[in-house]
Amino acid sequence: MSAFRYVYGIVPAASASAVDGAGLRGIDEGAVHALAVGPFAAVYSEVDADEYGEAGLNDRVRDLEWLTPRAAAHQEVNAKILDLAGVVLPLSFGALYRDDDRVREMLREDVPARTERLRTLEGRGEWVVTVVRDGGEERDGNGELRDIDRQIAESAPGRGYLLTKRRATVSREATARADADAAERALAQLVRASERAYREPVAQGGPDVVVLRVSLLAQRAKATDIDAAIAKVGDDLAPLGYHVRSTGPWPAYRFGSL
Protein backbone atom coordinates (compact mmCIF):
# COMPACT_ATOMS: atom_id res chain seq x y z
CA MET A 1 0.00 0.00 0.00
CA SER A 2 1.38 3.41 -0.93
CA ALA A 3 0.99 5.91 1.89
CA PHE A 4 0.76 9.65 2.41
CA ARG A 5 1.87 11.49 5.53
CA TYR A 6 -1.09 13.01 7.30
CA VAL A 7 0.24 15.86 9.47
CA TYR A 8 -1.71 16.85 12.58
CA GLY A 9 0.44 19.66 13.88
CA ILE A 10 3.88 21.13 14.45
CA VAL A 11 5.68 21.03 17.80
CA PRO A 12 9.16 22.05 18.98
CA ALA A 13 11.81 19.56 17.85
CA ALA A 14 12.72 18.94 21.49
CA SER A 15 9.30 17.30 21.96
CA ALA A 16 9.71 14.80 19.10
CA SER A 17 10.97 11.95 21.29
CA ALA A 18 8.11 12.38 23.76
CA VAL A 19 5.57 12.20 20.94
CA ASP A 20 7.27 9.18 19.33
CA GLY A 21 7.36 7.34 22.65
CA ALA A 22 3.74 7.98 23.60
CA GLY A 23 2.26 5.17 21.47
CA LEU A 24 -0.45 7.42 20.04
CA ARG A 25 -2.87 6.26 17.36
CA GLY A 26 -4.38 8.65 14.87
CA ILE A 27 -6.66 8.55 11.86
CA ASP A 28 -7.59 5.01 10.80
CA GLU A 29 -5.63 3.80 13.87
CA GLY A 30 -2.32 4.71 12.24
CA ALA A 31 0.71 4.95 14.53
CA VAL A 32 1.64 8.57 15.27
CA HIS A 33 5.26 9.64 14.71
CA ALA A 34 7.27 12.86 14.86
CA LEU A 35 9.67 13.95 12.12
CA ALA A 36 12.10 16.66 13.24
CA VAL A 37 13.83 19.21 11.01
CA GLY A 38 15.65 22.18 12.55
CA PRO A 39 13.63 23.71 15.40
CA PHE A 40 10.36 21.92 14.54
CA ALA A 41 8.85 18.47 14.37
CA ALA A 42 5.81 17.44 12.34
CA VAL A 43 3.47 15.02 14.06
CA TYR A 44 2.02 12.62 11.50
CA SER A 45 0.67 9.18 10.71
CA GLU A 46 0.48 7.30 7.43
CA VAL A 47 -2.78 7.01 5.48
CA ASP A 48 -3.74 5.13 2.35
CA ALA A 49 -2.74 7.21 -0.68
CA ASP A 50 -5.60 5.82 -2.76
CA GLU A 51 -8.25 6.75 -0.19
CA TYR A 52 -6.75 10.11 0.72
CA GLY A 53 -5.64 11.24 -2.71
CA GLU A 54 -6.99 14.60 -3.84
CA ALA A 55 -9.96 13.25 -5.79
CA GLY A 56 -10.91 10.70 -3.14
CA LEU A 57 -10.58 13.12 -0.24
CA ASN A 58 -12.65 15.80 -1.95
CA ASP A 59 -15.50 13.32 -2.30
CA ARG A 60 -15.21 11.83 1.17
CA VAL A 61 -15.17 15.06 3.16
CA ARG A 62 -18.78 15.55 2.01
CA ASP A 63 -19.71 12.23 3.68
CA LEU A 64 -20.33 13.00 7.35
CA GLU A 65 -20.31 9.32 8.30
CA TRP A 66 -16.76 9.05 6.91
CA LEU A 67 -15.58 12.47 8.05
CA THR A 68 -16.81 12.58 11.66
CA PRO A 69 -14.58 9.88 13.23
CA ARG A 70 -11.53 11.10 11.31
CA ALA A 71 -12.06 14.73 12.30
CA ALA A 72 -12.46 13.56 15.90
CA ALA A 73 -9.21 11.58 15.65
CA HIS A 74 -7.45 14.67 14.22
CA GLN A 75 -8.56 16.74 17.22
CA GLU A 76 -7.74 13.99 19.70
CA VAL A 77 -4.17 13.64 18.45
CA ASN A 78 -3.60 17.39 18.64
CA ALA A 79 -5.05 17.47 22.16
CA LYS A 80 -2.69 14.70 23.26
CA ILE A 81 0.38 16.25 21.71
CA LEU A 82 -0.52 19.54 23.38
CA ASP A 83 -0.31 17.69 26.70
CA LEU A 84 3.00 16.10 25.71
CA ALA A 85 4.70 19.14 24.18
CA GLY A 86 3.02 22.00 26.01
CA VAL A 87 2.44 23.79 22.70
CA VAL A 88 1.36 22.83 19.18
CA LEU A 89 0.55 24.58 15.93
CA PRO A 90 -2.43 22.48 14.84
CA LEU A 91 -2.91 22.05 11.11
CA SER A 92 -6.34 21.98 9.51
CA PHE A 93 -7.93 18.64 8.70
CA GLY A 94 -6.54 17.13 5.50
CA ALA A 95 -2.89 18.29 5.60
CA LEU A 96 -1.38 15.58 3.38
CA TYR A 97 2.19 15.17 2.10
CA ARG A 98 3.41 12.62 -0.40
CA ASP A 99 6.51 11.51 1.56
CA ASP A 100 8.96 12.46 4.30
CA ASP A 101 10.87 14.80 1.98
CA ARG A 102 7.73 16.87 1.37
CA VAL A 103 7.17 17.08 5.13
CA ARG A 104 10.75 18.26 5.61
CA GLU A 105 10.26 20.93 2.96
CA MET A 106 7.16 22.15 4.78
CA LEU A 107 9.03 22.35 8.08
CA ARG A 108 11.72 24.53 6.51
CA GLU A 109 9.12 27.14 5.54
CA ASP A 110 8.08 30.17 7.64
CA VAL A 111 10.64 29.38 10.36
CA PRO A 112 10.64 32.85 12.01
CA ALA A 113 6.85 33.12 11.99
CA ARG A 114 6.37 29.61 13.37
CA THR A 115 9.01 30.14 16.03
CA GLU A 116 7.25 33.29 17.23
CA ARG A 117 3.82 31.64 17.11
CA LEU A 118 5.00 28.68 19.18
CA ARG A 119 6.52 31.11 21.68
CA THR A 120 3.26 33.03 22.07
CA LEU A 121 1.21 29.83 22.46
CA GLU A 122 3.43 28.10 25.01
CA GLY A 123 1.27 26.79 27.87
CA ARG A 124 -1.91 28.18 26.37
CA GLY A 125 -5.15 26.66 25.15
CA GLU A 126 -8.24 27.72 23.26
CA TRP A 127 -11.82 27.74 24.49
CA VAL A 128 -14.82 28.12 22.18
CA VAL A 129 -17.88 29.76 23.73
CA THR A 130 -21.30 29.95 22.08
CA VAL A 131 -24.32 31.97 23.24
CA VAL A 132 -27.64 30.77 21.84
CA ARG A 133 -31.30 31.72 22.02
CA ASP A 134 -34.23 29.45 21.35
CA GLY A 135 -35.43 30.31 17.84
CA GLY A 136 -39.06 30.38 18.95
CA GLU A 137 -38.58 33.14 21.53
CA GLU A 138 -39.12 36.83 20.87
CA ARG A 139 -38.23 39.91 22.91
CA ASP A 140 -40.48 42.76 23.99
CA GLY A 141 -38.13 44.98 25.94
CA ASN A 142 -40.39 48.03 26.33
CA GLY A 143 -43.80 46.39 26.14
CA GLU A 144 -44.57 47.65 22.63
CA LEU A 145 -45.63 44.19 21.46
CA ARG A 146 -48.18 43.90 24.24
CA ASP A 147 -49.61 47.26 23.25
CA ILE A 148 -49.85 46.20 19.59
CA ASP A 149 -51.49 42.92 20.58
CA ARG A 150 -54.12 44.87 22.51
CA GLN A 151 -54.75 47.13 19.52
CA ILE A 152 -55.06 44.13 17.19
CA ALA A 153 -57.66 42.56 19.48
CA GLU A 154 -59.70 45.78 19.46
CA SER A 155 -59.36 46.57 15.72
CA ALA A 156 -61.43 45.87 12.64
CA PRO A 157 -59.89 43.30 10.21
CA GLY A 158 -58.32 45.88 7.88
CA ARG A 159 -56.51 47.78 10.58
CA GLY A 160 -55.74 44.53 12.38
CA TYR A 161 -53.90 43.28 9.27
CA LEU A 162 -51.71 46.40 9.15
CA LEU A 163 -51.02 46.16 12.88
CA THR A 164 -50.02 42.52 12.49
CA LYS A 165 -47.43 43.49 9.88
CA ARG A 166 -46.23 46.27 12.18
CA ARG A 167 -46.00 43.77 15.03
CA ALA A 168 -43.71 41.49 13.00
CA THR A 169 -41.34 44.40 12.32
CA VAL A 170 -41.30 45.52 15.95
CA SER A 171 -40.70 41.96 17.14
CA ARG A 172 -37.83 41.44 14.73
CA GLU A 173 -36.16 44.72 15.68
CA ALA A 174 -36.61 44.18 19.43
CA THR A 175 -35.22 40.67 19.24
CA ALA A 176 -32.23 41.83 17.19
CA ARG A 177 -31.47 44.54 19.79
CA ALA A 178 -31.72 42.03 22.62
CA ASP A 179 -29.46 39.57 20.83
CA ALA A 180 -26.88 42.28 20.15
CA ASP A 181 -26.98 43.41 23.79
CA ALA A 182 -26.57 39.83 25.05
CA ALA A 183 -23.65 39.23 22.68
CA GLU A 184 -21.84 42.43 23.68
CA ARG A 185 -22.43 41.76 27.37
CA ALA A 186 -21.00 38.24 27.08
CA LEU A 187 -18.10 39.34 24.89
CA ALA A 188 -17.04 42.07 27.29
CA GLN A 189 -16.82 39.60 30.19
CA LEU A 190 -14.99 36.96 28.17
CA VAL A 191 -12.44 39.43 26.76
CA ARG A 192 -11.57 40.53 30.29
CA ALA A 193 -11.04 36.92 31.38
CA SER A 194 -8.78 35.87 28.49
CA GLU A 195 -5.53 36.99 26.86
CA ARG A 196 -7.01 37.18 23.37
CA ALA A 197 -10.45 36.75 21.88
CA TYR A 198 -11.70 36.29 18.35
CA ARG A 199 -15.37 36.73 17.47
CA GLU A 200 -16.28 34.02 15.00
CA PRO A 201 -18.80 34.46 12.17
CA VAL A 202 -22.06 32.61 12.85
CA ALA A 203 -24.51 30.94 10.51
CA GLN A 204 -28.19 31.82 10.62
CA GLY A 205 -31.04 29.32 10.76
CA GLY A 206 -31.72 26.14 12.73
CA PRO A 207 -33.74 25.57 15.91
CA ASP A 208 -31.39 27.75 17.98
CA VAL A 209 -30.22 31.25 17.13
CA VAL A 210 -26.49 31.72 17.71
CA VAL A 211 -25.97 35.29 18.89
CA LEU A 212 -22.26 34.92 19.68
CA ARG A 213 -19.44 32.46 19.06
CA VAL A 214 -16.04 33.48 20.35
CA SER A 215 -12.66 31.76 20.60
CA LEU A 216 -10.60 32.58 23.69
CA LEU A 217 -6.87 32.15 24.27
CA ALA A 218 -5.64 31.78 27.84
CA GLN A 219 -3.09 30.00 29.99
CA ARG A 220 -4.15 26.38 30.52
CA ALA A 221 -3.01 26.76 34.13
CA LYS A 222 -5.86 29.27 34.52
CA ALA A 223 -8.53 26.89 33.21
CA THR A 224 -10.49 27.13 36.45
CA ASP A 225 -10.70 30.93 36.13
CA ILE A 226 -11.76 30.74 32.48
CA ASP A 227 -14.42 28.14 33.23
CA ALA A 228 -15.70 30.30 36.09
CA ALA A 229 -15.93 33.35 33.81
CA ILE A 230 -17.86 31.34 31.23
CA ALA A 231 -20.20 30.03 33.92
CA LYS A 232 -20.84 33.58 35.13
CA VAL A 233 -21.81 34.65 31.61
CA GLY A 234 -24.27 31.76 31.55
CA ASP A 235 -25.74 32.74 34.91
CA ASP A 236 -26.09 36.38 33.86
CA LEU A 237 -27.80 35.62 30.56
CA ALA A 238 -30.03 32.72 31.61
CA PRO A 239 -32.79 34.97 33.05
CA LEU A 240 -32.86 36.76 29.67
CA GLY A 241 -33.49 33.51 27.79
CA TYR A 242 -29.97 32.81 26.53
CA HIS A 243 -27.84 29.71 27.03
CA VAL A 244 -24.06 29.36 27.01
CA ARG A 245 -22.15 26.38 25.70
CA SER A 246 -18.38 25.96 25.82
CA THR A 247 -15.64 23.51 24.90
CA GLY A 248 -11.95 23.48 25.69
CA PRO A 249 -9.19 23.94 26.36
CA TRP A 250 -8.19 22.82 22.87
CA PRO A 251 -5.01 23.36 20.91
CA ALA A 252 -5.05 26.88 19.51
CA TYR A 253 -6.68 26.22 16.13
CA ARG A 254 -7.78 29.84 15.72
CA PHE A 255 -4.73 31.51 17.24
CA GLY A 256 -2.16 28.99 16.00
CA SER A 257 -2.85 29.39 12.30
CA LEU A 258 -0.39 31.38 10.23
In-domain check, residue 88: yes
Going by pLDDT thresholds of 50, 70 and 90, the confidence category of residue 102 is very high
In-domain check, residue 160: no
20 and 63: one domain? yes
pLDDT in tens, 45-67: 999 988 888 766 777 888 889 89
For residue 33, is pLDDT > 60?
A: yes
Peptide bond into 69 cis (omega under 30): no
109 and 225: one domain? no
For residue 206, is pLDDT > 60?
A: no
Peptide bond into 201 cis (omega under 30): no
For residue 229, is pLDDT > 80?
A: yes
pLDDT in tens, 120-152: 999 999 999 999 987 666 665 566 666 767 667
In-domain check, residue 220: yes
pLDDT in tens, 149-171: 766 776 777 676 666 676 776 66
In-domain check, residue 155: no
Which three-class secondary structure state does DSSP give residue 122?
coil
Between residues 177 and 184, the one the model is more confident about: 184
Domain count, the chain: 2
Cα–Cα distance, 171 to 137 (Å, whole number): 10
Average pLDDT across the chain, whole number: 88
* Torsion angles phi and psi, residue 101, rounded to 5: -65, -40
178 and 103: one domain? no
Instruction: Give the domain range for residue 246.
Output: 124-138+174-256
- Using alpha carbons only, what angle is made at residue 230 by residues 138 and 71, rounded to the nearest 5 degrees? 90
Cα–Cα distance, 110 to 106 (Å, whole number): 9
38 and 131: one domain? no
132 and 227: one domain? yes
77 and 131: one domain? no
117 and 185: one domain? no
CATH code of residue 217? 3.30.70.360
